[in-house]
Amino acid sequence: MAHTRRPSARHGLPLLTLILIGVGPLISVAQNPSDAPAETEAAPIVIDMAAPLEPERAPPPPTEPSALGVYRNYIESMEESAGAFAPGLTEQLLGLGLNLQALDRHAEAAKVLKRGVHVSRVQSGLYAADQIPLLRAEIRSLIALGRFDEVDEHQRYLARVESEALTGTPASIAALIDQGEWAEQAWDLRLGDQEAHPEHLARSWEYYRLAYNQSTQLYGDRSLELLKPLEGMLRLQYRFADLQRENASNSPFDGTSYRQTSALGGAYRRGEAVLSTIFGLKLVNGSSAGEQARDLTRLGDWARWMGRRSDSRSYYDKAWRRITPPPVVPEAPEAAAAADAGAEASATTEVAMNEAGSDNASPDAGAVEAPADAVVVAE
């Protein structure tokens, strides 16, 4: 058994001192953590550059509606079985194009619809009617894409197709009015060369004139259906007159001034004829006094806008008389008694006239008639 010796006080004191010296810093750090070295506040981040980082995943592409897939698969099967010009292919291309339009994918829709027009021409001829819905749909996509020069070209071709395929039908009249409205928009957009801009107005007038003539043949010369093309023709006269006045203001006083003044006079007469025709057409269809006054006021506004002050006052006076009852003149007692006696005597005659079919029109129903040159709109 080994003999152990207990350390003496002389040996134990240095050992205790060493222990206290080692523990002291630990105690001070524990009591005041803010005094710890800076490197102990945040451990360094070590990145292993050898290990590849996980790449960001791209969002999945949006799922395409099933209807588009159905159309594409059906078109592909038709082409495989019957070729690029398979019967019935135009209907499927139209359906695919319309579905693409509904998704605002107009560039794709225009391409599909253009192919449909080409297939229709090959199958049915240059002016086949089944091109019309394809062309109209393609034009809508071209408008959405802002390709207005192409829109104008397509509208001109569409007008030729419609004139061949729809003549003499209500659809033809509606198509002509649409073409007239587009030509007005082409004027507003100033499409094409500057020298050709007035041609848009002339083309629009021609479409409205044809629509008026076809409406007369289809519905009769007293039908209110004539109002649609007439309103378009009236807008054109405002545009024509504005253009003539602009040209007159930009030209020096020379030999052309007389021609420009004559052109303004012709524009005034045509506009007056159109407005008078509108007034007369509503009148024979039983327009109210208020409506007659509005139509006469439009005539006055046109005359005033064109600088015809005397004519404008005349039309405004007529409009005022339509809605203002005439003053009542007091009668003498003898005259009133004679009038009562005459009324009893004529009662039988009045009943007979009514039974014979006379129309009880107001005395001034024909006080304002369309001028003789109103037929200009139909020539």
Beta strands of 149-224 (E only): which ranges? none
pLDDT digits (tens), the chain, 379 positions = 455 555 555 555 555 554 555 555 555 544 555 554 545 555 666 555 565 656 677 776 667 788 899 999 999 999 999 999 999 999 999 999 999 999 999 999 999 999 999 999 999 999 999 999 999 999 999 999 999 999 999 999 999 999 999 988 999 999 999 999 999 999 999 998 888 889 999 999 999 999 999 999 999 999 999 999 999 999 999 999 998 888 776 665 555 555 666 778 888 999 999 999 999 999 999 999 999 999 999 999 999 999 999 999 999 999 999 999 777 766 655 555 555 545 444 433 333 333 333 333 333 333 344 433 443 444 4
pLDDT (0 to 100) of residue 359: 39
pLDDT (0 to 100) of residue 67: 87
pLDDT (0 to 100) of residue 353: 31
Q: Which residue, chain included where needed, has tokens 């897939």?
A: 69
pLDDT (0 to 100) of residue 357: 37
pLDDT (0 to 100) of residue 53: 58
Q: How far apart are CA 274 and CA 306, in angstroms?
A: 15
Cβ atoms of residues 369 and 277 within 8 Å: no
Cβ atoms of residues 267 and 244 within 8 Å: yes
The maximal CA–CA distance of the chain, rounded, in angstroms, is 171
pLDDT (0 to 100) of residue 155: 97
Is the whole model's pTM more than 0.85, yes or no? no
Cβ atoms of residues 103 and 65 within 8 Å: yes
pLDDT (0 to 100) of residue 246: 82
pLDDT (0 to 100) of residue 350: 38
Cβ atoms of residues 377 and 276 within 8 Å: no
pLDDT (0 to 100) of residue 232: 97
Sign of the four-CA dihedral 189, 190, 193, 196: positive
First to last CA, the chain: 145
Fold of 66-165: 1.25.40
What are the residues whose beta carbons fall under 8 Å from the beta carbon of 17, sequence distance 6 or more?
none
Per-residue pLDDT of 11-50, as tens digits, reads 555 555 545 555 555 555 445 555 545 455 556 665 555 6
Amino acid letter, 133: P
Q: How far apart are CA 241 and CA 266, in angstroms?
A: 9
Q: How far apart are CA 161 and CA 76, in angstroms?
A: 29
* Residues 49-61: b if buried by 16+ CB within 10 A, e if exposed: eeeeeeeeeeeee
